[in-house]
């Protein structure tokens, strides 16, 4: 099947290869604006589900190249709408209408141009969604939460207060952080460096997931790690809590030191479902 965005991809790759010389080309501005509109409509994504990919997701490097092109050709401008900020003119703050069905509560939230928020998304202030991010239907972004550039947030995901979902633009072929449908992220969690959290998983408050941090699954007796080009992947329905493991080398053993590690203590069951039932009242 032909790629409906092949022409756009080809032009983005052309201007990206031109480096700094693309800045004065009106065609570069036009192709970036076309990409930005497609990102905001959710038609084009920095990463998308792909059953043929090893992780189940395919990274669209050309989309990230296009976003970087927007930064390269952008000029600093003041907002001019009563808000005091200065940014590249290619990435203004997004504006929404009631017809779009996105609920953004007053109080200091910001969604950057080039981000997609689907119908039914709730944004509680103050929160921030960066360019290239994709937030699917019914997701809730709570106070002080961050959705980084190109992060992929599934349907009915709950990002609790101060949750940090890392973003990635470079390298362009690197996978962004991906939270699949019905994931619950507790307060003060951090998910970074391309980690994939499978559907219905629960991250307890304070859980930090990175590429370099192993996750101990005490239910299945496994240690989960990122390996090679594959990111850290949290299994479907896993319930992850902050934990610690003893350090056995040198003085650390004598001093009885330990280091942080995430631990899968169970998999989602009826009791877990009951504890999450109150979420519907927030929507």
Peptide bond into 126 cis (omega under 30): yes
What CA–CA distance (Å, rounded) separates 182 from 184? Answer: 6
How, if at all, do strands 76-78 and 86-88 pair?
antiparallel
Q: State the number of CA atoms in the 13 A half-sphere of 219 facing the CB.
A: 13
Residue-range domains of the chain with CATH: 6-77 (1.10.166.10)
Rg of the Cα atoms in the chain: 20
**The pLDDT value given to residue 76:** 86
**The pLDDT value given to residue 23:** 56
**The pLDDT value given to residue 281:** 46
**The pLDDT value given to residue 227:** 92
Decide if 160 contacts 186 (C-beta within 8 A): yes
- Please give the model's pTM, rounded to 2 decimal places: 0.91
Peptide bond into 171 cis (omega under 30): yes
What CA–CA distance (Å, rounded) separates 139 from 158? Answer: 6
**The pLDDT value given to residue 81:** 62
pLDDT, averaged per 10 consecutive residues of the chain (283 residues), comes to 85 87 77 97 97 95 96 83 75 89 88 97 95 97 97 98 94 93 97 97 96 96 94 97 92 92 93 62 47
What CA–CA distance (Å, rounded) separates 128 from 99? Answer: 21
222 is written with which tokens?
């496994």
Q: How buried is residue 195: exposed, middle or buried, by Cβ count under 10 Å (0-12/13-18/19+)?
A: buried
Q: What SS3 class is residue 67? A: helix
Decide if 137 contacts 120 (C-beta within 8 A): yes
**The pLDDT value given to residue 182:** 97
**The pLDDT value given to residue 45:** 98
């Amino acid at each position: 099947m032909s790629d409906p965005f092949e022409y756009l991809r080809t032009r983005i790759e052309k201007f990206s290869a031109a480096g700094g010389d693309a800045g004065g080309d009106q065609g570069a501005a036009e192709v970036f604006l076309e990409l930005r509109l497609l990102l905001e409509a959710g038609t084009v994504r920095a990463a998308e589900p792909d059953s043929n990919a090893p992780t189940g997701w395919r990274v669209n490097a050309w989309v990230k190249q296009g976003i970087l092109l927007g930064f390269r050709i952008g000029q600093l401008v003041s907002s001019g709408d009563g808000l005091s900020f200065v940014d590249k003119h290619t990435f203004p703050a997004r504006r929404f209408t009631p017809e779009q069905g996105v609920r953004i509560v007053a109080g200091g939230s910001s969604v950057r141009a080039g981000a997609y928020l689907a119908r039914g998304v709730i944004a509680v202030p103050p929160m921030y969604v960066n360019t290239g991010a994709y937030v699917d239907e019914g997701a809730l972004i709570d106070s002080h939460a961050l959705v980084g550039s190109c992060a992929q947030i599934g349907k009915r995901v709950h990002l609790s207060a101060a949750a940090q979902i890392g973003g990635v633009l470079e390298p362009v072929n690197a996978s962004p952080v991906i939270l699949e449908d019905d994931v619950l992220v507790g307060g003060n969690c951090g998910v970074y460096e391309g980690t994939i959290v499978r559907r219905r998983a629960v991250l307890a408050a304070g859980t930090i997931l990175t590429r370099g941090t192993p996750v101990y699954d005490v239910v299945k007796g496994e240690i989960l790690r990122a390996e090679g080009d594959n990111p850290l992947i949290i299994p479907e329905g896993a319930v992850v809590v902050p934990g610690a493991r003893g350090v056995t080398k040198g003085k650390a053993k004598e001093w009885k030191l330990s280091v942080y590690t995430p631990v899968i203590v169970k998999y989602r069951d009826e009791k877990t479902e009951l504890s999450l039932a109150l979420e519907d009242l927030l929507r």
